[in-house]
Amino acid sequence: MATTNATLTLSSGDLVGSNLSLSASTVLNKAGNNTGMDQAVGLSRKLTSSLDTYTLFKADEFTANLAHKVYLKNISTTASEYFTVTIDDSILGRLYAGDWAFFPWAAADGVKSAFTVTFAATWATDDTAVFDGVTITLAATETVAAMAILVGAAKYPNFTAAVTSSGVVTFTAKDSNDLSLIEEGAASDDYVITTAGNGTGTVARTVAPVASASDIKITPSVGTAMTLESMLIFQA
Amino acid sequence: MATTTATISLNSADITGDPLSLSKTSTLTKAQGTDGLNQFTGITTLVYASAQTATPLVLAASYVNTAVAHKVYIRNTSTSEVDYINIELGSSNVSLGRLYGGDWAFLPWDAINDIDVDTSGALTIEFGVFSQSTLSA
């Protein structure tokens, strides 16, 4: 258990009729208890160099609806330069030069797409199964179960794969923002099987994707160099 | 022109391998300039007698929007670790995150989206809006 204190001090001698002097302090605890949050994406800096939108923290990578806290600061010293901070597509606000922010983060996950491939019949030497840039080529005749094991053991750039029953492999997208829908059926253009025998691999979508609405994104106001400082304190 | 400063201090001896000791101060200025923000709601205390769902806290229509540097302070004054506020943005109620008992937030706000809150039950919220009265050029 770590102990992290966050303190805010707001001061002004002339914003209102009397002096403003507010101080708020909290210990950053995990959701629903008094145990300190114990993980951090340490203080880091992101240098932007275009007007693109940059994803700072991806909700998929964190557990949703806990007590995560985000710190951001625009390092720029040019008054007109700002970062627009958005929660996915919802604009929060602009951080102008020197401004900082500290706010809770829901990290609400999207839904990752998933599909199954059910292998059947006979798989022969040199038969192939191609998906996500990965080609499985058989060196010998294989049973349906062995074919599924080979496919499930491969490493895919954008999906995880696992044998979920004999002859059946379930693929799950690594990113909920991957909204592509794989073509279903025994002759899918997305999961391509080439066989000299009568082997089949039938694709069935099992989970439709829903994009995350909680990624923290920043968009710089200028395409030249700007720097954002950030830190995420979170719990698993 | 008012001068308002906001300072954050984050300190921990054990959240990372080396002690964390961060202190940053910013002067709350209008967008694209050095003039200070000139409007303030004051620190307002709201007592909710029961759980809330998407209850408006700060209405965008009351402020100029987009080219602005408004800041919003929100604090859950509860002393219970299980009481929380869920801060939401806009008509779609996109969840920003939860403030548990004692937690506070200080965030930029461009007054495009209302700020709403859900609460886990009866609790008290403290909040204030620092804003600019007119758009920056």
**Considering only CB atoms, which chain A residues are within 8 Å of B4?**
10-12, 15, 20
Does 2.40.50.140 match the CATH number of domain A21-109+213-234? no
Q: What is the pLDDT of residues A82-103, one digit of tens each?
A: 999 999 989 999 999 999 999 9
**pLDDT of the residue at B110:** 96
Hey, is A147 helix, strand or coil? Answer: helix
Residue A196, pLDDT score = 85
Cα Rg for chain B, rounded, in angstroms? 16
Residue with tokens 């829908």: A181
**What is the per-residue pLDDT across A124-152, written as a single tens digit (0 to 9) for each?**
999 999 999 999 999 999 999 999 999 99
Collapsing DSSP to helix, strand or coil, B67 comes out as coil
Query: Does residue B8 form part of some domain?
Result: no
What are the residue boundaries of the structural domains of chain A, listed by start? 21-109+213-234, 114-207
CATH number, domain containing residue B61? 2.60.120.10
Burial of A73 (0-12, 13-18, 19+ CB in 10 A): buried
Q: Tell me the shortest Cα–Cα distance from A184 to chain B, in angstroms.
A: 33
In a domain, B34, yes or no: yes
Note whether B110 contacts A100, CB cutoff 8 Å: no
Residue in A with minimal Cα distance to B109: A93
Residue B112 lies in a domain: yes
User: Please, which residues have CB within 8 angstroms of residue B101's CB and are 6 or more apart in sequence?
Assistant: B76, B77, B78, B79, B80, B81, B82, B83, B84
Domain count, chain B: 1
Is A95 part of the contact surface with chain B (CB cutoff 8 Å)? yes
The reply to whether B11 falls in a domain is: no
A28-81: per-residue pLDDT in tens?
999 999 999 999 998 999 999 999 999 999 999 999 999 999 999 999 999 999
Cβ–Cβ below 8 Å for A31 and B11 = no
What are the residue ranges in chain B where pLDDT is below 70?
Answer: 137
Q: What is the mean pLDDT of residues A186-201?
A: 92
**Burial class of residue A52 (count of CB atoms within 10 Å of its CB; 0-12, 13-18, 19+):** exposed
Q: How far is CA A25 from CA A28, A120, B27, B69, in A?
A: 10, 62, 20, 24
Indicate whether B73 belongs to any domain: yes
User: Which domain does B115 fall in, by range?
Assistant: 29-131
Which residues fall within 8 angstroms of residue A129, CB to CB, at 6 or more apart? Answer: A117, A135, A136, A147, A151, A191, A192, A193, A201
What the block records as the tokens of A54 is: 């940059």
Residue B136 lies in a domain: no
- Please check whether residue B14 lies inside any domain of the structure: no
Chain B residue numbers with beta carbons less than 8 Å from the beta carbon of A37 are 15
pTM score: 0.89
Give CA–CA dist B123/B104, Å, rounded. Answer: 14
Candidates A192, A39, A164, A26; CA nearest to B9 is A26
Query: CA angle, B71 as apex, B65 and B77 as ends, to 5°?
Result: 130
Residue B99 belongs to some domain of the structure: yes
